Amino acid sequence: MHNYIVIEGNIGAGKTSLTEKFANEINARLVLEQFADNPFLPQFYTDRERFAFPLELFFVAERFQQLKDTLGKQDMFQQTTVADYIFIKSLLFARVNLSEEEYKLYQRLFHIIHSTLPEPDVLVYLHCEVDRLLHNISKRGRAYEQNISADYLISIQNTYFEYFKTVTAFPVLIIDVTKADFVSNENDYHKIKSLIQAAHTNGLHYYEV
């Protein structure tokens, strides 16, 4: 059984919904990104150039503190932790959002603190085609997200995929959920759950639901 499971995905892929459902079912500690606490997020979507750097600094500090506090404590009743983000997400989004000079500075800070956190036992990435992502983003109705473009989502997706090619320390499961409904369809959910709980070799694995 995995002790530390991360469920990732692009904006609108449903990672938080799946993380909550899965963690509750297996009685795991739940770690959810507190993105709504970032005061720079609404401004970022209207002026990326101006607000990208403070946005990413706030995110990396909050994510680090949350993971350090949670993963550093033992819980005899909940030995498994399920999170809806991996810490390196900070670096991946920074690569897309920051200028070259800002990214170099950010990268130095990131690598200093990244080494103090454990890697997950398995990383699950919910892949979803961009049209479906845009539909999901529109449906959930967060005002500041409504101007997210297909090009931006593709940039984020490509950055994740480039990172996955470099991972050798743990399994990465790319699960295509474009046609799945794991919130309402128990069949789809149990297929994904079985994949998460199965044993996998380190490196990249691709599945479709």
Name all domains of the chain by residue range, CATH numbers in brackets.
4-208 (3.40.50.300)
- How high is the pLDDT of residue 208? 96
Beta sheet of 171-176, edge-to-edge order: 29-31, 81-83, 4-9, 122-127, 171-176, 203-208
Q: How confident is the model at residue 141 (pLDDT cuts 50, 70, 90)?
A: confident
Query: What pLDDT is attached to residue 86?
Result: 97
Tokens representing residue 20 in the block: 């909550």
Q: Where are the beta strands (DSSP E) in the chain?
A: 4-9, 29-31, 81-83, 122-127, 171-176, 203-208
pLDDT per residue as tens digits for the range 67-124: 999 998 777 667 899 999 999 999 999 999 999 999 999 999 999 999 999 999 999 9
**pLDDT tens column, 50-68:** 999 999 999 999 999 999 9
pTM of the model: 0.93
Q: What is the average per-residue pLDDT within 14-19?
A: 96
Residue 163 has pLDDT above 90, yes or no: yes
Q: Is the pLDDT of residue 146 over 70?
A: yes
168-199 tens-digit pLDDT: 999 999 999 999 999 999 999 999 999 999 99
